[in-house]
Structure 1
Amino acid sequence: MHRLNAWLRRHPMVVDSVWALPVLFLGLVSSVEQERGLAGTVLMAVLLPLLMVFRRRRPNLTTVAVVGLGLVQVALNIPPGASSIAYLVFAYTGAAFGTEWTSRLALAGGVAAGPLTLWRFDENAHEPYNWLRVIFFSGLMTTPFILSWAWGRLTRVRRAYLIELEDRAARLERERDAQAKVAVAAERARIARELHDVVAHNVSVMIVQADGAAYVLDNSPQQAKEALGTIASTGRQALVEMRRLLGVLRTSDTAEEYVPQPGVEELPELLEQVRTAGLPVEYTSTGDPAELPRGVELTVYRIVQEALTNVRKHGGPDARARVAVDFRDRDLEVLIEDDGRGTTEEQMAAGGADGQGHGLIGMRERVGMVSGSLDIGPRPGGGFRIRAVLPLRTAK
């Protein structure tokens, strides 16, 4: 049924031809019964249904032609027949499908149809003192034309409204697709930052362990063996995470389960890995631990990871670090301090000696996404300090 309706909408002449057939039949039958003007009534009975076939394909032309035929019918004194119902159809057609001037012409023709028909074909209309009867029957004959024209205007308004809805739906669909593309791009950028964090942290651990293994290889083979084992496990962990991240980047899907989402609970494991790499780290947690939004969980983990990576790179051989997490009612404070030779803000912004990372920029982006605040600067007495406050309720 839906396909049939769609096909009929694409072929309006078929529907109009079906409606024109009974008008043609009735017009020819009524023409035979006419006592005068047989040729004219037959001609009108054929032309009016023929114009009905093309009324939606050429609404302006057919409406003008029908108005002209009506005037010719009045001028030649051709009596109206059953085919005259087509005039109502064209009053509707001009209002529904024609231009503005065609609609006005159809209205004017409809208003004039009643008085002209009565004046031309009713002999009693010319009698004196019969004006009340003329007004009454003129209005009675004009009313169907006005109603047909009004129906056509309503059809035009409804069609314009439906077209506007379709345009709006298409525009919303385009906007949705554009927003989806923006979201995908933002997600890929986030994954790229994740990839940087994974690589920077694990490679830094591997470098430190490799240097330590080379240093103690001759004097302490057992320590060198442990260092090599740490390098192997760290490399395997980095490889697994990189494969997950790159797998997401290679496809159009950004399913969340493929992206590693470490949180505050994984901080002790991270700190143990850092200690194994040779950086002493003290960890304290105050307040009542609560379930945090995943965005805050990941932000805390990445800030601590990035900060300790920079301490290992720039803090010096004797640097020590402290990580403090304070759970509050409305926010969460994360503090990372070190007593090394000092990590400059420029080094933090570069994210490493090669200057190819995200460092401070990545931290600020992460904190900004959860509407938090970030303070970075030298620590009184030497070293460096990073303090982040993440509002819990705003981030939800």
Structure 2
Amino acid sequence: MIRPLQPHQLVLDVVGALIGLLFTLPLSFVILTTSLSVWIADPSLEAAHHIVVALIMWGAAAIARLSPPLALAAAWVGAILQMAGGMWPSPVNLAVLMVLFATSAWGSRRVLWLGGASALVGGVIAGLYVALVQQDSFIVDSSYPVRALAFGSLVAAVVLLSLAMSWGGGLLWRIVVKGRRTREAQLRAETAAAEEQERVRIARDMHDIVAHSLAVVIAQADGARYAAAVRPELAQEALGTIAQTARGALSDVRMLLTQLRHRQGDGPQPTLADLEVLLAQVRQAGVEPRVTVDPMPPGEPPAAIQLAVYRILQEALTNAIRHGDGTVDVHLAWLPDRVDIQVRNTVAGDRPASHGGHGIIGMRERAQLIGGNLQAERQGAQFVVRATLPIGPSTGSRAQEAKE
């Protein structure tokens, strides 16, 4: 029944209704004194009747946006009182147009259709009222019924058209506002989805960087602790590797935090050229990967493919460091339409059999983001990671085709 409004909206409606009352009431008196209708015995009673009707009509207009059903009811009360007193349609009835607009623009679904029905019924009643009630405005003769019917039909058509246009204008406003809200909700949902994807991407990168770096640091720290007593030079080398790995991880983490804080785009991402550094860190952690690349990349693969290959290998090798026994086999096959990745490592006897943590989820997400797939499972004493990533024509292939 009552809609929440901002104070300035309510003030604007009340002031607008007051201006409408002050403008239309004097015009109504002018029309009253110059119309074909005659004054009743007491002119002051007729004037009071006009003032009361005007106050009800414009009062309904003042609360039309605040409470469309109450405004519609008040407008009907004013119209009935107007017809009961024999008052001709006058400028104060412009308030009804505002009420009908409000019923279709801001009313509930029921009030919306009540307003439409009121516009239809009001137009018909106005025609009948003018034709049948205001008989004293015509010269009564044998042609009166035809003239009354014609004039009443004309009044009904004009009133009905005016009321329908006002109600239809409110309905159009309702549709526009609803469409705008739907679009805003869609934009908010798209923004939230994009932000969520960005958070997931940063979390995935953070996991890959931190997990790998910490695995290398832990392996080197364990090695340095045992080597310190017998070969101090190896301990010094391990400590240097720890420092280098930690600095690199710190730099990568700072870059990710900067992107998260300032909503910046992607920074420099690792490529295939960085795989040697990754393999060197794995070797320093005590794991000697046996790497096979067959066939070799025909050209420069897309950057997204290079990043996915690097991150998948990084996580798979990190798992080999944490859960393996020091042996791992890596095989890359760069085919014309895809790259196949396979990483096998023997699982240490005292290590857990499951590797179903965030790293596996992150690898699978990376593969899926570029249209590929990834499987990670234990097969006997080995843990196997297989991935297939689709690729388009490489840069070198396109250049060669262009030359031909």
Q: Which TM class, normalised by the smaller chain length? A: 0.7 to 0.9
Q: How does 1:1-396 map to 2 (within 5 A)?
A: 10-29=11-30, 36-37=39-40, 38-56=43-61, 57=63, 58-73=71-86, 80=88, 84-86=89-91, 88-89=93-94, 92-93=97-98, 95-97=100-102, 99=111, 100=114, 102-103=118-119, 105-124=121-140, 127-128=141-142, 130-176=144-190, 178-180=192-194, 183-184=195-196, 186-217=197-228, 220-245=231-256, 251=261, 253-257=262-266, 261-285=269-293, 286-294=296-304, 296-316=305-325, 319=327, 321-338=328-345, 341-342=346-347, 347=352, 349-350=354-355, 357-376=357-376, 385-392=384-391
Letter in 1 for 2:389: L
Q: Using structure 1 for the length normalisation, give the TM-score.
A: 0.74
Distance between the aligned counterparts of 1:350 and 1:105, measured in 2?
74
C-alpha displacement at 1:267, in angstroms? 0.7
Stretches of structure 2 lacking an aligned partner (at least 5 in a row): 1-6, 64-70, 104-110, 393-404
SS at match of 1:389: strand
Q: Cα gap change, 1:123/1:194 in structure 2, threshold over 3 Å: closer, same or farther?
A: same
SS at match of 1:270: helix
SS at match of 2:129: helix
> CA offsets, 1:267-310, max 9 Å, x none?
1111122223333334344131323242x333211221222233
Distance between the aligned counterparts of 2:80 and 2:312, measured in 1?
81
Distance between the aligned counterparts of 1:314 and 1:141, measured in 2?
91
SS at match of 1:73: coil
Distance between the aligned counterparts of 2:12 and 2:378, measured in 1?
78
Letter in 1 for 2:171: V
| Partners of 2:271 and 2:303 within 8 A in 1 | no
> CA offsets, 1:337-357, max 9 Å, x none?
45xx5468x847437xxxxx5
| Partners of 1:290 and 1:327 within 8 A in 2 | no
C-alpha displacement at 1:165, in angstroms? 2.6
Q: Using structure 2 for the length normalisation, give the TM-score.
A: 0.73
The range that moved more, 264-273 or 128-137, is 128-137
| Partners of 1:16 and 1:54 within 8 A in 2 | yes
Distance between the aligned counterparts of 1:313 and 1:13, measured in 2?
74
> CA offsets, 1:91-144, max 9 Å, x none?
5356434552644552343121321255232132xx235533333333334333
Letter in 1 for 2:153: G
| Partners of 1:95 and 1:156 within 8 A in 2 | yes
Letter in 2 for 1:387: R
Q: Cα RMSD (Å) of the superposition? A: 3.7
Task: Name which one, 1 or 2, has greater alpha-carbon Rg.
Answer: 1
Distance between the aligned counterparts of 1:389 and 1:226, measured in 2?
37
| Partners of 1:209 and 1:227 within 8 A in 2 | yes
C-alpha displacement at 1:388, in angstroms? 1.5
| Partners of 1:95 and 1:106 within 8 A in 2 | no
Distance between the aligned counterparts of 2:9 and 2:385, measured in 1?
71
SS at match of 1:332: strand
Equivalent pairs, count: 361
C-alpha displacement at 1:378, in angstroms? 6.8
Distance between the aligned counterparts of 2:290 and 2:336, measured in 1?
24
Letter in 1 for 2:126: G
Q: Cα gap change, 1:47/1:210 in structure 2, threshold over 3 Å: closer, same or farther?
A: closer
SS at match of 1:15: helix
Identity %: 27
| Partners of 2:28 and 2:91 within 8 A in 1 | no
The range that moved more, 217-226 or 144-153, is 217-226
| Partners of 1:63 and 1:90 within 8 A in 2 | no
